[in-house]
Chains A and B, each alone.
Chain A
C-alpha cells in the first residue's frame, strides 16, 4: 500500500540558508501534520493543514511557513536556518480516520 512520502530524506544546509521539505500524503488523505524531533526529544507539533487550509499551529518559528496544495501535498519552507533547526522533520497524514500515518522523515542538518 502507498505510504506517506517525504523528500528529501537528508538535507544539509548552511546557516542563514533556506530549505524546503515536501510531504506527499497517502491517497485520499486530506490532512497533513508537520512535526519536528530534535536529538533526544519527542516529536513536537509544528503546523497542520486540512483541505488546504491551516487548521492548527504549534511551536513553529516565524521563520518557517508551510502550505498544502491542491493535490494535498504539503511543503514546509524554512528560512534563515539556524544550527538549532537541525532535527528530524516528520509529516503525518490522515483521511478522517483517527490513525495518523507518518513518513520516513527528513533529516535536516544545518552547518
Chain B
C-alpha cells in the first residue's frame, strides 16, 4: 500500500525554467510533509518541508505547495539549474517524536543546460 505516491518517475526541464514535481498521499493522518533530494549512492538530503497548517512554504528557489483537500503537494524549483538534477523524494509523516517518515517513489529531475 503506497501511501505516498509520485506518479512521474522522471522529468526533464530546460535550465532557467520552472520544475514542478508532484506528490499525492492517501493517509489523512499525515500532517508534515518533506522533500528530499538524492544523488546516486548518497543519503537523502533534506530540502524543504511544510506543516499541514500551511499551504505554502518558500525557501529561495524552492517552494512547496500543499492542498490538503486534494491530499496533494508539489515542489516548485524556479529557476531550475543543472545542479538540481537528482532524484527528488516526497515524504510524509505524522508529527511526533518517533513517527517514521514514509517516502514516495521518487522523481528523477534532469535540468538541461
Q: Which residues of A contact B (CB under 8 A)?
A: 4, 6, 30-31, 33, 35, 42-43, 45, 48, 50, 55-56, 58, 88, 90, 92, 94, 96, 98-105, 107
Contact = CB atoms under 8 A, between A and B. Distances in A.
A87 B103 CA distance: 17
Interface of B: 32, 34, 36, 41-46, 49, 51, 89, 91, 93, 95, 97-106
A92 B97 CA distance: 13
B41 A105 contact: yes
B49 to A, nearest CB: 6
B104 A98 contact: no
A56 B98 CA distance: 8
B72 to A, nearest CB: 18
Contacts of B46: 99-102
B100 A48 contact: yes
Nearest to B102: A45
Given A33-B100, A43-B44, 10 more contacts: A31-B97, A35-B103, A42-B104, A43-B103, A45-B101, A56-B98, A92-B44, A92-B101, A100-B93, A102-B45
A43 B97 contact: no
A31 B93 CA distance: 14
A101 B93 CA distance: 13
B100 A56 contact: yes
Given A43-B44, A102-B43, A55 B98 contact: yes
B43 A104 contact: yes
